[in-house]
Chains A and B, each alone.
Chain A
Amino acid sequence: MGSLELRNVTKVFGKTEIIKGIDLSVKDGEFVVFVGPSGCGKSTLLRMIAGLEDVTSGAVVLDGQDVTAVAPAKRGIAMVFQSYALYPHLTVRDNMGLALRQAGAPRSEIAQAVGRASAMLALDPYLERRPAELSGGQRQRVAIGRAIVRTPSLFLFDEPLSNLDAALRVATRIEIARLHRELGATMIYVTHDQVEAMTLADRIVVLRAGQVEQVGRPMELYNDPANTFVAGFIGSPRMNFLKGAALGESADTVGVRPEHLAISRQGNAIPGTVSHVEKLGGETLVYVRSEVHGLLTVRLFGEQDFSVDEAVQLTPEPPRSLRFDAAGRRLR
């Protein structure tokens, strides 16, 4: 009902190729998150799926049907924009009902669909207001409601939470996860936020410069990244990259997550000096400058006392380190 397949799609703006041949298949009901650095083409790819952007070559296939040349509204896809993009002159009720009204649905059916969506999103008290009279979070819920009302088989979200404050972001994130369970629809979601990606996704697609770097479940990407780019991109704070030669390893680079780096005041592993300490209550981040490896991050559980300029020794947990060759590819 909501499966999607991209077959070698590319996008060229003028002379620059922005999307360089992407193959991807998304199963019905799956929650897929696109992540990648700014400008890598996440929004462009999403807009190509929606039909708002022409595909230069390749095919977009929905439920086994090639929709590459089909108009956006005919694809049965709903999109939620970062800026909400509500109709400013319509009330919340009309914002949500406009698509159905345009499609010629009977009044009772529209009222029912709007009622269901507004109940789901707790929008009932605001149905007669206009977007200007709502807070950012409420507007975003209306935008999501407008998408739900059309009962699409595929939802697209382009950084829907990035204009919200931290607390609201968490609340709306949980709401989106609940909606995904209740509606059972396929969702594709673009975000910059590590936590959103890790918590919402069934699968994460890591993009770089218009190409897919790796696709996998969040824990797969975290524990088993294919290259240094994915290893560095997934996980916060970022993975430490140590020089293999200095550790007596054959690999060019050894990646160690901050929580897999042990720190002690004596011993003779990797010497360094503490350059900064961040205490977050539940955990402590210690930044250690090493002569050989540069700045390394250590993540410790609970509250730990280290002072700046203190000399320390770091030891990677051998089974948890990842080995990469000179080109950044993973050595297994």
Chain B
Amino acid sequence: MTARRPIRWHIAVFLAPAVLVYTAIMIVPLIGTLNLSLYRATETGPQFVGLGNFRTLFGDALWSDAFWNALGNNVWFFIIHMLVQNPIGILLAALLSSPRLRLAAFYRTAIFVPTVLSFVIVGFVWKLILSPLWGIAPSMLGAVGLKGLFAPWLGQEGSALTALALVSVWQFVGIPMMLIYAALLSIPDEVMEAAEMDGITGWSRFWKVQLPLILPSIGIISILTFVGNFNAFDLIYVAQGALAGPDFATDILGTFLYRTFFGFQLQIGDPNMGAAIATAMFLIILAGVCVYLFGIQTRLRRYQF
């Protein structure tokens, strides 16, 4: 005879606080947003329209042009981060972890400081620096005889988005640097010394020993960058306003959502269409995270030492 397993109530009890808090502040608003995107405001109150808002978003040229523009800009924003921020972060971490580097703690802090600054300060400061009228960039370039290179980068359609992406890189490069630095420090000294005995030094040591061992951290950084970039809003808003000028050249999904949801200047806020955009953003990020979790992370091995 086997005794019946008693119901283990304590598991539910221990889970309850986290589940309740998470439900209240994450699940409920998420479902609320999804729900909101299925209605349209009419004079007689909200009316269920199914996927009607999405049909408008993707079918109506007025909406879909803006959406694809924002998505395209967002993808470029992400590409700049992946190609500039993360390699530089890895490079800085590799330099910092070199035992011969002096003042490493100072550099580490100095590079990380912008990350803790407010977007408002960063956006404003860079706007001032790059201003063609009173910014210091033109005169600094002038001091080294490169004045000809200067252009009002934030004001030109072709360069504004790239310039802002680089400002964002400047601000956040400390995060990949710290994560990779921690990963590099977790490689035991003796492994690095064994490599030294084997004649694997300098760059080949980085490529053949360190890089394979920090790949999982690089994966994490990529997905953090992806989520962060597709949720970005603040820096563009501070530097270029909700219209994300010039001529929507710096409009990303976050600013597009903001304008739609809350309205801006002559545009009247439309919470239902805003919710539809928010849902689309949610699905894009979800898809990206799924690709990472199931396609990439399972292939990255974590090694214990």
Q: How far is the CA of A102 from the CA of B205 in the complex (A)?
A: 10
> Does B305 contact A73, Cβ atoms closer than 8 Å?
no
Q: Name the residue of chain B whose CB is nearest to the CB of A131.
A: B303
Q: How far is the CA of A89 from the CA of B194 in the complex (A)?
A: 14
Question: A52 an interface residue at 8 Å Cβ cutoff?
Answer: yes
> Does B200 contact A99, Cβ atoms closer than 8 Å?
yes
> Does A52 contact B193, Cβ atoms closer than 8 Å?
yes
Residues in chain B within 8 A of chain A (CB atoms): 188, 190-191, 193-201, 204, 208-209, 212-213, 301, 303-305
CB-contact partner of B197 in A50, A83, A89, A130, under 8 A: A50
Question: A98 an interface residue at 8 Å Cβ cutoff?
Answer: yes
Chain A residues with CB under 8 Å of B208's CB are 98, 102
Question: A77 an interface residue at 8 Å Cβ cutoff?
Answer: yes
> Does A150 contact B198, Cβ atoms closer than 8 Å?
yes
Q: How far is the CA of A102 from the CA of B188 in the complex (A)?
A: 21
Q: 0/1 per residue, A88-103, Cβ < 8 Å to B?
A: 1100000000110011
Question: A126 an interface residue at 8 Å Cβ cutoff?
Answer: no
List residues of A (128-145) whose CB comes within 8 Å of B's CBs.
130, 132
Most buried by B among A52, A88, A99, A146: A88
Q: How many whole Å from A161's CB to the nearest CB in chain B?
A: 16
Given contacts A71-B201, A73-B201, contact A89 B190 (CB under 8 A): no
Q: How many whole Å from A141's CB to the nearest CB in chain B?
A: 15
Given contacts A102-B204, A132-B303, contact A85 B190 (CB under 8 A): yes
Q: Name the residue of chain A whose CB is nearest to the CB of B196.
A: A72
Chain B residues with CB under 8 Å of A85's CB are 188, 190-191, 193-194
> Does B188 contact A98, Cβ atoms closer than 8 Å?
no
Q: Name the residue of chain B whose CB is nearest to the CB of A71.
A: B201
Q: How far is the CA of A252 from the CA of B301 in the complex (A)?
A: 65
Q: How far is the CA of A146 from the CA of B197 in the complex (A)?
A: 11
> Does A73 contact B188, Cβ atoms closer than 8 Å?
no
Question: A229 an interface residue at 8 Å Cβ cutoff?
Answer: no
Chain A residues with CB under 8 Å of B303's CB are 88-89, 130, 132
CB-contact partner of A73 in B197, B213, B301, under 8 A: B197
Q: How far is the CA of A160 from the CA of B193 in the complex (A)?
A: 15
> Does B194 contact A73, Cβ atoms closer than 8 Å?
no
Q: How many whole Å from B121's CB to the nearest CB in chain A?
A: 42
| Between-chain CB contacts (< 8 Å), 13 pairs | A50-B197, A73-B197, A83-B188, A85-B193, A87-B191, A88-B303, A88-B304, A89-B301, A98-B198, A132-B303, A132-B304, A146-B194, A146-B198
Q: How far is the CA of A63 from the CA of B251 in the complex (A)?
A: 70
List residues of A (84-123) whose CB comes within 8 Å of B's CBs.
85-89, 98-99, 102-103
Q: How far is the CA of A81 from the CA of B196 in the complex (A)?
A: 13
CB-contact partner of B198 in A99, A130, A132, under 8 A: A99
> Does B198 contact A52, Cβ atoms closer than 8 Å?
no
Q: How many whole Å from B193's CB to the nearest CB in chain A?
A: 5
Chain A residues with CB under 8 Å of B212's CB are 89
Q: How far is the CA of A79 from the CA of B201 in the complex (A)?
A: 16
Chain A residues with CB under 8 Å of B199's CB are 73-74, 99, 102-103
CB-contact partner of A88 in B193, B196, B213, under 8 A: B213
Q: How far is the CA of A315 from the CA of B213 in the complex (A)?
A: 64
Chain B residues with CB under 8 Å of A87's CB are 191, 194-195, 209
> Does A89 contact B198, Cβ atoms closer than 8 Å?
no
Given contacts A85-B188, A87-B209, A88-B213, contact A79 B301 (CB under 8 A): no
Q: Name the residue of chain B whose CB is nearest to the CB of A158.
A: B190
Q: Top 9 closest A-B pairs, CB basis?
A: A73-B199, A88-B303, A99-B198, A85-B190, A85-B194, A89-B212, A81-B190, A85-B191, A79-B197
Q: How far is the CA of A18 from the CA of B191 in the complex (A)?
A: 24
Chain B residues with CB under 8 Å of A78's CB are 197
> Does A52 contact B301, Cβ atoms closer than 8 Å?
no
* Sample of 7 more A-B contacts, CB < 8 Å, known A85-B193, A85-B194, A102-B200: A52-B196, A73-B201, A79-B193, A79-B197, A81-B190, A87-B195, A146-B198
CB-contact partner of A81 in B193, B200, B304, under 8 A: B193
Q: Name the residue of chain A whose CB is nearest to the CB of B301.
A: A89
> Does B197 contact A77, Cβ atoms closer than 8 Å?
yes
Q: How many whole Å from B198's CB to the nearest CB in chain A?
A: 4
Q: Name the residue of chain A whose CB is nearest to the CB of B215.
A: A89
Q: How many whole Å from B46's CB to the nearest CB in chain A?
A: 56
> Does B190 contact A73, Cβ atoms closer than 8 Å?
no
Given contacts A71-B201, A99-B200, contact A81 B194 (CB under 8 A): yes
> Does B213 contact A89, Cβ atoms closer than 8 Å?
yes
Q: How far is the CA of A88 from the CA of B303 in the complex (A)?
A: 6
> Does A72 contact B200, Cβ atoms closer than 8 Å?
no
Q: Name the residue of chain B whose CB is nearest to the CB of A152.
A: B197
Q: Name the residue of chain A whose CB is nearest to the CB of B193.
A: A52
Chain B residues with CB under 8 Å of A98's CB are 198, 200, 208
Chain B residues with CB under 8 Å of A71's CB are 201
Q: How many whole Å from A168's CB to the nearest CB in chain B?
A: 20
List residues of A (41-81) whose CB comes within 8 Å of B's CBs.
50, 52, 71-74, 77-79, 81
Q: How far is the CA of A7 from the CA of B192 in the complex (A)?
A: 28
Q: How far is the CA of A124 from the CA of B165 in the complex (A)?
A: 53
Most buried by B among A50, A73, A77: A73
Q: How far is the CA of A102 from the CA of B301 in the complex (A)?
A: 24
Chain A residues with CB under 8 Å of B305's CB are 88
